[in-house]
Amino acid sequence: MPETIPFDQRSREVKILLAVVVPFAFGAIVGVVLGISAAAYWVLAALAAVGAILAGLEHEDARGASIRSVVAGALFGLGILLAHAVAGTDAKVSLGSFPPFLIVIDGVAGTLLGLLGWRLGRARRDRSGEAQRSP
């Protein structure tokens, strides 16, 4: 498996792109799709979940993974709601009785998935370190 570049070693611009722009823009795409197809919405939501796990791999500590993940998850949810509102379509998936709560749900889900990625990355780094130390 290729080495992951730690998030804290990336430039400020790349950090903003990965933690702010990409989640919001992808959320906006999902928000438009929300009014078109329930199946496509869920496929894109699953892809976003995989992205959150992969993002967690870039962090060497749980705090960094948590902060990035909660921000990215909340921006993803905000992107969904804003793009869906602009598109003006009927949602093919229920947003619940208080749609803005999606921002909180996505922030929490993003945090949990990012922490899962961080944990998997830590286990991989630990195994790699043990393999390098053994004769």
Q: pTM of the predicted model, to two decimals?
A: 0.91
Encoding tokens for residue 58?
């870039």
Domain ranges of the chain: 10-133
Question: Cβ(70)–Cβ(111) under 8 Å?
Answer: yes
Query: What is the distance between the alpha carbons of residues 22 and 75, in angstroms, rounded to a whole number?
Result: 9
What does the pLDDT look like over 78-106, one tens digit per residue?
A: 999 999 999 999 999 999 999 999 999 99
pLDDT of 47 reads 98
pLDDT of 85 reads 98
Dihedral sign (CA 91, 95, 96, 101): negative
What does the pLDDT look like over 22-62, one tens digit per residue?
A: 999 999 999 999 999 999 999 999 999 999 999 999 999 99
Query: What is the distance between the alpha carbons of residues 65 and 42, in angstroms, rounded to a whole number?
Result: 24
Query: What is the distance between the alpha carbons of residues 97 and 121, in angstroms, rounded to a whole number?
Result: 37
Q: Is the pLDDT higher at 7 or at 3? A: 7
